[in-house]
Structure 1
Amino acid sequence: MLTTILAAGSAAAKGGNPYGLIPALREGGLISQTVFGLLVLMLFVSLYIFFTKIFEQQKIINQAKRVRASFWSANSLREGAAKLEKNSAYRQIVDDGLEAQEQYKELTDPVEAHDWLHGSLARSEATINSALNGGLAFLASTGATAPFIGLFGTVIGIYRALIKIGSAGQASIDAVAGPVGEALIMTALGLVVAVPAVLGYNFLQRRNKAIAESLNAFSNDVLGYLASDGRVRPTTAKKSPAKPAAPTTTAGQTGGVPTRP
């Protein structure tokens, strides 16, 4: 029995298996090979986008931690921005806010300072969020279309199997095994491409939403600082609760208990 299994494995490794992937694609022709290549390309591009976006998101999450730790303890926004990375998303918001404040002094039409600053910071947030969402449309499209692309390959394989059955006049395993195997391979590959794309899209969207909320909160804090000329800023640490005062005693008493003279 072991000798038979080893012999079969050796034959498959040498390309002697007529029902493997390569023979099925060779028999399927240009259409099956094109569908297979397209699905494989979509899979690798989806994985590249997923891991690239994970890296970008984690970088911004780490930046948020540094902002909470040291930014608001600085004496000014410029000093706090100097503590952040040069390409930090949070530093971009601060720099855009300071630039908007300088531009407001050059305006000739009467515009509310709050509206001007708020619009500038909102544009800065939108730019960052747009960069974070880049590539997610491809993941969504892959998750939606990959099963149908695989289904197209499945239809072609079943069609070829029916043609072979009609030509042979009977449904023999040898006649239909190749086309049916090709059809099943396309169905499975379509699912293998679509499921990770959908899961990755939902996961990245959830993290992007959390990052957008953090950026929005920071933007509001920067707006409050600029609009109040530095008088309004978030507290960096909670004050420790005051210790309860010791009980007062009158002369000749200790702890509220009268003592003998």
Structure 2
Amino acid sequence: MLQETTQAAAATGGNAASALTQMGMDHLLQEMMSDPGAFAVSWVVLLTLLVMSAMSVYWIVINTFKNISLRRSADRVVSTFWETPNAQDAIRYMEEQPRSEPFSKIALDAAQAAAHHQRHDGSRLAESLNRSEFVDRALRQAVTRESMRLESGLTVLATVGSTAPFVGLLGTVWGIYGALIRIGATGQASIDAVAGPVGEALIMTALGLFTAIPAVLAYNFFVRLNRVTYNQFDTFAHDLHDFFATGSRVGEVANKR
């Protein structure tokens, strides 16, 4: 009797050890590659998650470098513009900035709007819109354009963060469904027959979470950074409006008084 109990325990332990070896990612890939047709849905889910992860990493890297560059250049560009005594030199300095630098493009749009309105002084344009309104409209368009450029990739991050867990869950549900079909066909419900397929299916959920979590964190982080940049855009745009509409900033007028 004792010998039979020992043998049963040994068999159970052997089954558990065998089940553990079938629950890894490497075993899942071997199963999928051995019979691609039977794992068609699993392949679609896995490849979708890989594409989502690659897109997420790409936009995280792009937006990281974009925000680092913006933080380094913003104060320098704005301060140089206001500290340059000659307006033409300040505009020339803005023209020398890279195309990706947003503050210089906002200033250039305001300068071009003011110059355009001045060239058409006395025309129907000047009669329908005064200089202040014309510059204000140009600034609004410039701020909106540069704000939209800052948001590039955020839609992708939000989409990945919200859908990747469900894509992984689809792989899990389909994997468990297939495991139950195999168990019903073979009539085996032992630990080594159940744990392997179920564990492999749960890997899909884990992959979905690993794909979604960085995307969600990055999205929230970049949204916060962009909110600060939007405030800087608005402040700079208001100062530019005062400068090109009246010839001086509000702060400068107050200081002169």
Q: TM-score, normalised by structure 1?
A: 0.77
C-alpha separation in 2, matches of 1:176 and 1:42: 30
Quickly say closer, same or farther: Cα 1:48–1:31, change in 2 above 3 A: same
Matched residue, 1:103:
116
1:83 aligned counterpart, secondary structure? helix
Alignment check: 8 A CA contact 1:165 1:172 kept = no
Matched residue, 2:61:
51
Q: TM-score, normalised by structure 2?
A: 0.79
Matched residue, 1:190:
208
C-alpha separation in 1, matches of 2:158 and 2:187: 44
> Residue 123 of structure 1: CA displacement?
0.4
Matched, 1:37 2:37: no
Q: Which runs of 5+ in 1 are unaligned?
A: 1-16, 239-261
Quickly say closer, same or farther: Cα 1:81–1:233, change in 2 above 3 A: farther
- Number of residue pairs aligned between Structure 1 and Structure 2: 219
Greater helix share, structure number? 2
| Equivalent AA in structure 2 for residue 117 of structure 1 | V
Please provide the CA RMSD for this pair: 2.0
C-alpha separation in 2, matches of 1:81 and 1:89: 14
Alignment check: 8 A CA contact 1:25 1:182 kept = no
Alignment check: 8 A CA contact 2:45 2:167 kept = yes
> Residue 67 of structure 1: CA displacement?
2.9
Alignment check: 8 A CA contact 1:161 1:180 kept = yes
Q: Deviations over 1:64-94 (max 9, x none)?
A: 1203543211113332233342422111111
Matched, 1:203 2:203: no
1:215 aligned counterpart, secondary structure? helix
Matched, 1:226 2:239: no
Alignment check: 8 A CA contact 2:78 2:103 kept = no
Q: Deviations over 1:118-153 (max 9, x none)?
A: 110110011111111011101101111001000000
* Among 141, 150, 160, the residue aligned to 1:142: 160
Structure 2 matches for 1:1-261, cutoff 5 A?
18-19=22-23, 20-26=27-33, 29-84=39-94, 85-87=97-99, 88-105=101-118, 106=120, 108-109=124-125, 110-229=128-247, 231-232=248-249, 234=251
> Residue 18 of structure 1: CA displacement?
4.8
C-alpha separation in 1, matches of 2:167 and 2:87: 53
C-alpha separation in 2, matches of 1:234 and 1:72: 12
Quickly say closer, same or farther: Cα 1:58–1:77, change in 2 above 3 A: farther
Percent of aligned positions that are identical: 35
Alignment check: 8 A CA contact 1:72 1:233 kept = no
1:123 aligned counterpart, secondary structure? helix
Matched residue, 1:247:
none
C-alpha separation in 1, matches of 2:105 and 2:251: 19
Higher relative contact order (CA 8 A, sep 6+): 2
Matched residue, 2:10:
none
Alignment check: 8 A CA contact 1:25 1:33 kept = yes
Matched residue, 2:15:
none
Alignment check: 8 A CA contact 1:21 1:182 kept = yes
Alignment check: 8 A CA contact 1:24 1:182 kept = no
C-alpha separation in 2, matches of 1:63 and 1:18: 54
